[in-house]
Structure 1
Amino acid sequence: MKILVTGGAGYIGSVVTAQLLEAGHDVVVLDNLSTGHRDAVPHAATFVEGDVREAAPVLAEGVEAVIHFAARSVVPESMAHPQRYWHGNVGASLALLEAMRATGVNRIVFSSTAAVYGDPEEVPIPEDAAVRPGNPYGGSKAAIDAALTEHARMHSIGAVSLRYFNVAGAYERYGERHTTETHLIPIVLQVALGERATVSVFGDDYDTPDGTCVRDYIHVADLAEAHLLALANCTPGRHHIYNLGNGTGFSVQQVIEVCREVTGHPIPAVRAERRPGDPGVLVASSALAQAELGWQPRRSDLHQIVADAWAFHQTGTAASATPAGERP
């Protein structure tokens, strides 16, 4: 199958592209490199530098399905500049959907987020939980999910939204690297590498066992496998939504402790004020994805997730990543 991956020069997009190629697919990556890296695109993929709004000519070249990652994804930025998220995420995605309609491409897997649930009433969060995002980033993803539902109903596309939280780890030579890092595990590892003096803990007075925020961490290789399974579940006229997580929450303090164990570095931590829009606990239930997609998070141990990320940050290669289709 010929598949367009938007944002395929980014962290998750590059891993998904690698696994698609390993599975025998023909992959085209469309990325404007605003946050992605050209050298993260697997060599066997066709690379097109450009914006999502410029997807129509690429789609017209025999593309059969789209996996859509390209988006802004920083919660604090969305709070400070919400217009960037309505324009850059919602506007661009609507343009992509229109280009798909015009070129007859009728399958899409969308990288959504469990941030659409805001501060949930129930944990782990099921797919039928109320959608009430607490920040413009989550709001933009919820708006795109709603658009996918309408496009499935009106234009008979098959759509799957995958909602996930904190993604970490590495896969072969593909790992997480941002010009401005905002994710906890790589920030903590930067302290271990001597690139930062300390890690900030944003709030230690949440209603959690140790007072710090609890999040669901998923290995990027597990997450990528879910996207490949979702492709096969794109049903014309239907929009499926699945949460992805390992079902276990880890607090900020627990993450720091595991990073200390894996790296052997003391990793000084300092308390900071809460960030606007940060719920105390976010853990996803992936029971539906496991039942309907046959997906299993096989790398759910936090030590393995951190060890793969640590190995990538040191050497550029994951410590224990396994090629798609093989089982450790």
Structure 2
Amino acid sequence: MRIIILSAFSLFFVITLFGQTQFRSGIFLHHSTGLCIWGPNGSSTDIPQEMASYNFTNSYTDSNAVTLNEEWWAPSDNEWSTQHDFFKDPSPITGIDFYTPNNKIIVIKSCFPSSSITSIGQASDTLNPTDKTIYNYKWHWRNIVNVMKVHPSNFFVIWTNAPLEINSTNLSEAGFSDIFCKWAKDTLAQGLDSEFGAFPSNVYVFDFFHKITDAMGVELPQYASGPGDSHPNAVATELVAPQFVQEVFNASIYYETIYSQIVEPSTQNLNFKVYPNFSSDYIIIKLQSLSNKNNATLYNSQGNIILSQKIINYNTQISIANLASGVYYLKLSNEKMVEVRKVIKK
């Protein structure tokens, strides 16, 4: 078989003739609370309008313009335990790597039931990941952000909790949610959490919770849809949508400089190639440098693992001769990065 290199992929997008790598487009994964803020929500503005205004104010056009798409996620509930499972899922079909190849910016959040925190909690809580304790929530976030950290070619935004209005919570739950969200923004995101340590530069914490709560952690009535309904109303959208756009894109555009000057040069020795990506019998992985933790995993279109092996040579040939024709996904990972490539079996 004659091998033709169809495309070469580096770990990160390199600086091109058009300038440094940009982090200006992506996806917002949400449920109903996020959709209210996205709008339209009966308000005078919404996130799409604010993005248009941001582009106009900064004279951003064409490829320089900022943009987000929105998507309802997850299909079931949207708790921090759900997000934890999603980020730890290694499959490029059912895990976060379904989104990383095509979205430079990925925004995630949970829904307001996350604010029903029952207690401070303890280490044994992790045996029951759905228990809503501060201990579990910190554990979820540390794990989620750790996965974000090994995707430096993406910029992540994670919202703090969506709060509950007074008829849907009590002062104990609201207080615990306030404590957790303050920890997320003022301790974890500042690199002051003794267990996690330095906070990655490709992650931004958007403190939604404290934008619409009182000092006790209860959603202010002027921002709730009504008694017993904690969904943010039009007034909340008018408050939060402009702040969301300003904070997210100011942070992601700032990361462009960090990425091009610090992140990208420090990791260029991890470049790799996969070829051919349209084959009937085998594919070859070519590495620029070796690590004893380089792993290759091939998934089918249902997210099932077909094969997995360590990559210990600069050139590794993987047979796909016995596989059925179709689309597969090759995931290459080590302690510093994760990348996914599509492979088509003839």
Relative to the length of structure 1, the TM-score reads 0.39
TM-score (norm 2): 0.37
